[in-house]
Chain A
């Protein structure tokens, strides 16, 4: 491909615009399908179980280890300034504002996002989507929208579990192993964490990440070539695009939240 040639650049730009336009239309449709999807809540409930419950193991184990490390690193830094009793606050703020939503979204992209893409891609390969269309059933409304809304609901819940387990991990290392005062650990946390500015911002972030990761996963699966190679590369694209989207969106959201 001759990238410098105006015709090729034009074609590549049009193709990109076409893909973005298609993606935007699909996202809009799934958002507009909120009402009809919630009226058939059984479909959403099944997906919450599949995407949420089956991700709990990886989320809790990761949260625990991140909490351990935060406890150690936080203590190392704070004790230099003689404020090791603020360890609880440091661990909680780090998790609730930043690490909880971001790491949960990255883990969710690898665990649930990849599985969503593969599932939708394989349904396409097995002509299940075409069969649904031929039965006059809209696959976007029946298959994609319940998964999308389940993902959006599940992400903040998983992030909350991650942060809660992470705080417990920080407690185990900071209080039980190193010997930071338990009362100081909890009271500093209680006094320093703001429900709206800190917890609320974290919830907003994980909600946005839920939309981004689940949408990318569904789009890649729905647009996958119906071949083994097609599904494989769609799954890879899901993990790469959604992980980068999470990190990019995190920066934008953090900037916006700092200015509030």
Chain B
């Protein structure tokens, strides 16, 4: 086994994964450098969320290795996996807040589960995290009483409650209005720099993501189509990357789902 790159917090080596016959990732290798914001981009169904699930150990690689700070995540037992996950924070696409708990209790949840801190200290930490996402005043509200953007920010406060080394964001901008979207993008960058964490963002929002990220990885058809700084990716001549970056409806990723030919289908012969 090659020694791990010390500057990388996460290293994927020849990673392969699929569901049944369908290959999602095929021999993919990349690293996520410490202290940087890395964006994972690509068309829907391209394997971005699966990559997050692999890093978090929710699914195991079918080939290759996934190292988190030198530990092979795919080879860990349940206890080992839980120990690694305590060093990760994850922001789910729609927040995944506990709907029966207030905003305060949601953020306090990981602290109460994993530490024996006295309640006054838990309160101070929760308020600090909520202050960081601008929602200290909303601590007593229930998740049903806050907007989608606020929901995502509470989930972010919860994800950083235990001061993780890595925070993974699964499409943090989807469904947000422009103000909330800009706020979320600024927050991710700001928290990354102030807390000294490493961020991995799965996103489709090209302008915000390119503006915020240090490194961009574009995954398409189970392989890496482009990797580098946002400028490197913009300059890529790979047809898939060109289609993705310029939001073209047709290209290597086809607009029409595969089916019988138009002449054949409209002739009345097939159903």
Contact = CB atoms under 8 A, between A and B. Distances in A.
Interface residues of B, number: 22
Given A126-B99, A130-B58, A136 B92 contact: no
B114 to A, nearest CB: 7
A32 interface: no
Contacts of A126: 94, 96, 99
B58 to A, nearest CB: 7
Contact of A131 (B82, B83, B86, B96): B96
A79 interface: no
A127 B158 CA distance: 15
A127 B109 contact: no
Contact of B113 (A127, A130, A131, A142): A142
Contact of B109 (A130, A135, A138): A135
Given A127-B92, A142-B113, A133 B58 contact: yes
Given A131-B90, A142-B113, A136 B96 contact: no
A130 B82 contact: no
B4 to A, nearest CB: 22
Nearest to B113: A137
Interface string B81-102: 1110110101011101111000
A134 B88 contact: yes
Interface in A98-131: 123, 126-128, 130-131
B114 A134 contact: no
Nearest to B92: A127
B116 to A, nearest CB: 13
B113 A128 contact: no
A130 B56 CA distance: 11
Contacts of B88: 134
A66 to B, nearest CB: 33
Given A133-B58, A135-B110, A127 B94 contact: yes
Contacts of B96: 126-128, 130-131
A128 B85 CA distance: 16
Interface of B: 56, 58, 81-83, 85-86, 88, 90, 92-94, 96-99, 109-110, 113-114, 155, 158
